Amino acid sequence: MTTVVAVRKGGQVVMASDSLVTFGDTRLSFNAEANRKLFMVNDAAGQTIFAMAGAAAHYLVLQHALAGQPVEALRFGSKDEIFHTFTRLHPVLKDSFYLQTKEDEHEPYESSQFTMLMANPSGIYGVYSYREVFEFKQFWSIGSGRSFALGAMHAAYDKARSARDVAEAGVAAACEFDRNSAAPVDVLTLKLKVSK
């Protein structure tokens, strides 16, 4: 699975992830497969860092789907902009990348099948399968190691000097306790528009 964290503190937003890939009981460490779970996308306002938890195919599909859109159409600066962008992207995922949208027969909407974390100069956002968008004020985590990461970041947030220190504490805890997360840790940093 994975552990991805995002933290905003001291005028910066940081995303960090572990680097382990798993296929059932098989583990592919960074030595076996050069897996980077974070990727950057140029959008209408600058850059956004993306990461996902779940199927490995999601990474390539989302990278290619976003790359196929005009930069001015990619807007990730607020919950509403993100919702609008992913609602427009949903038919592309179905028609061009063969996304299976059905999770169960009682679902309220077609699923995009994603659990995603994003960070950019406007903040931290989570996007979930029905295109629900959440904005996180301090930190958040996705993936199998999220509980360990959230606990560690909660304990470190007020004491840490930087967003990077908090993010690294979160991923380190997940790598220590979650069997599906392992070092090395990948970290990307952006400057926030407004420090909160």
Amino acid making up residue 165: D
- What digits encode the pLDDT tens for the residues 53-88? 988 888 889 999 999 999 999 999 999 999 999 999
DSSP-assigned states of every residue in 97-132: H-----S-TT-SS-----EEEEEETTEEEEE-TT--
Nearest partner of 27 among 144, 186, 151, judged by Cα: 144
- What digits encode the pLDDT tens for the residues 3-54? 999 999 999 999 999 999 888 888 888 888 877 899 999 998 899 999 999 8
pTM over 0.85: yes
